[in-house]
Amino acid sequence: MKINKSYVCEKLGRTLNFLPDRVSFCCSYAEGPGLKYEKGMTLNLKEITKSEMQFIKLLKNGKIPAQCSGCIDYKEKKYNNFFEFLFSKQSSMLINEIIVNHFKQCDCNCVYCSQKIIWGDETQQNYELLPIIKELFKADSIDKNNLKVEFQGGNVSVLSEFEPLMQEFLNNGCKYFTILTNGIKYLSVIEKTNSMSGIIFRLIISLDSGTKETFAKIKQIDAFDEVIKNIKEYGIKTGAIITLKYILIKDINDNSREVENFLNLAKELRCIHSLCFDIDYRDILFDKSKNFKVLVHYGDLIEQARKFCMENRINFVLLPYAEQYIENNKKV
């Protein structure tokens, strides 16, 4: 019997991205397959696995799910004969990446926040994640030694499940954590992990400014001093690898003076591993022409930051989407 085209995606089955309205099965740039969450439904491992298997089977039978369209991660797979096709399974299906992104509560109100645009004003948190994680561990579905956990959100400091979730991951021997936060509240749980060997904690703090005034304009809250105090404490009391983030926002912080203030501040703090630059994605979301271009002077601001980081031995990061838009401008 002739085997028609068959595909496999190595990411499918290894990532669980918990969103407010669904569990996505990968973290792809395409929308990605997932299980929709309906109010009142019980999200459990059985439901997640059942839904995931449908997508794996579709690919195996040569059909590209609409959610994977345009993605570069599925690959064609060849089988020697029909029996191999029939009985083959995707190799290890242990989960090695969990993204905690099912909540949208936050204690500030950034002007660039796309959460409300994407999820709406009312969305906060539709389900509890801790019981699902406990079930995954109980069923031995997680690759504990290699699991990467990323807390996105919202802001974890207002997620009531945050500490219990952290405790569950730590109790199970997980070691790799990334937390995206606005830095307004000190997360003492990070300190507690200091005495545990092998834990790698990455902390990404969105500061977006170098002065109190600009911070208040962007975050719409007067909390600059608290954030700076907390960054210093993380530097002294924890082994966290700290990244400060700067999103370029039109007419607010997209000028050389503010970028310079931010760079100097990062240097003075003496505990910053990386500076990460990005663009304001509202500009793309609201661009009706679908021909979005970043402002030309963003390229100069990025070069200013890149040069400063090189001279001061701070790691410089420009996120791929932002880089793509800035490079496109150079070609014009």
Contact footprint for ligand SF4 (CB under 6 A): 9, 11-12, 25-26, 28, 30, 32-33, 68, 71, 73-74, 106, 108-110, 113, 115, 153-155, 182, 206
Please provide residue 239's backbone torsions phi and psi, each rounded to the nearest 5 degrees: -95, 20
Nearest to 324 by CA among 301, 290, 304, 299: 299
Minimum distance from CB of 68 to ligand SF4 (Å)?
3
| For ligand SF4, the closer CB: 71 or 309 | 71
Find the helix or strand (DSSP H, E) in which 166 lies.
helix 162-171
Which structure tokens are listed for 13?
């089955």
**What are the residues whose beta carbons fall under 8 Å from the beta carbon of 286, sequence distance 6 or more?**
none
| For ligand SF4, the closer CB: 154 or 210 | 154
Tell me how many degrees the CA angle 296-302-308 measures, rounded to the nearest 5: 145
| For ligand SF4, the closer CB: 206 or 230 | 206
| For ligand SF4, the closer CB: 113 or 309 | 113
- Give the burial string for 35-51 (b: 16+ CB within 10 Å, else e): bebeeeeebeeeebeeb
Minimum distance from CB of 157 to ligand SF4 (Å)?
10
CB 111 within 8 A of CB 252: yes
| For ligand SF4, the closer CB: 119 or 137 | 119
Whole-number Å distance between alpha carbons of 40 and 321? 36
Whole-number Å distance between alpha carbons of 195 and 174? 14
Minimum distance from CB of 36 to ligand SF4 (Å)?
16
Minimum distance from CB of 50 to ligand SF4 (Å)?
16
Minimum distance from CB of 83 to ligand SF4 (Å)?
26
Pairing, β 200-206 against β 241-248:
parallel
Minimum distance from CB of 318 to ligand SF4 (Å)?
19
| For ligand SF4, the closer CB: 90 or 172 | 90
